[in-house]
């Protein structure tokens, strides 16, 4: 699978500073986000794995079946990012869109839902400035 705009997506996240932007959520709050996003996307909720201790090699991941959130990723930004992967991996009608236009559309929708329209618009502007392509609608 070609992940042709991953660098632009990550650069945009760094500009918004998602890594330090948002408090660490409780396991209950993480579950609520995951469940609500799953309902919105009409998918089965993934198994949730929240790690309690930090390790330098930890990475956040989302697939159709599970979402893995190291302690640093248990914030709204990371959950929106990883749940966008979960959603697109679950949708059979979307192929090869790992950080592509549909992923970015879903990601922005989740950001808007959680953090509001102003944050969504700011993030969209940063995406566009960095050359990130965004689908104009869900497939």
Per-residue model confidence (pLDDT) at position 92: 80
Q: Tell me the residue range of the domain where 122 lies.
A: 6-129
Number of domains in the chain: 1
Q: Is residue 18 part of a domain?
A: yes
Q: Is residue 57 part of a domain?
A: yes
Query: What mean pLDDT do residues 6-17 have?
Result: 91
Q: Is residue 39 part of a domain?
A: yes
Q: Kindly list the strands in the beta sheet with 61-62, ordered across the sheet, starting from the edge strand earlier in the chain.
A: 47-50, 66-69, 61-62
Q: Is residue 1 part of a domain?
A: no
CATH code of the domain containing 123: 3.30.2010
In whole angstroms, what is the distance from residue 108 CA to residue 120 CA?
6
Q: Is residue 138 part of a domain?
A: no
Q: What integer best gives the mean pLDDT of the chain?
A: 91
Number of H helices, E strands in the chain: 5, 3
pLDDT digits (tens, 9 = 90+) for 28-43: 999 999 999 999 999 9
Q: Is residue 136 part of a domain?
A: no
Q: Is residue 108 part of a domain?
A: yes
Contact 131, 5 (CB under 8 A): yes
Q: Is residue 139 part of a domain?
A: no
Helix (H, G, I), strand (E, B) or coil at 25: coil
pLDDT digits (tens, 9 = 90+) for 107-127: 999 999 999 999 999 999 999
Task: Name the band, by pLDDT with cuts 50, 70 and 90, for residue 139.
Answer: low
Query: What mean pLDDT do residues 45-53 have?
Result: 95
Alpha-carbon torsion angle 76, 80, 81, 86, nearest 10: 130
pLDDT digits (tens, 9 = 90+) for 75-112: 999 999 999 999 999 988 777 678 999 999 999 999 99
């Amino acid at each position: 699978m070609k992940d042709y705009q991953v660098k632009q997506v990550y650069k945009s996240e760094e500009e918004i500073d998602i890594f330090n932007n948002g408090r660490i959520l409780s396991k209950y709050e993480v579950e609520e986000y995951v469940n609500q996003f799953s309902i919105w996307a009409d998918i089965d909720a993934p198994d949730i794995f929240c790690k309690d201790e930090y390790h330098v090699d930890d990475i956040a991941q989302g697939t159709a079946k599970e979402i893995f959130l190291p302690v640093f990723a248990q914030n709204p930004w990371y959950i929106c990012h990883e749940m966008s992967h979960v959603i697109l991996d679950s949708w059979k009608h979307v192929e090869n869109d790992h950080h592509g236009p549909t992923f970015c559309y879903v990601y922005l929708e989740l950001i808007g839902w959680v953090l509001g329209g102003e944050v969504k618009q700011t993030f969209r502007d940063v995406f566009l400035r960095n050359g990130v392509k965004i689908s104009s609608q869900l497939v």
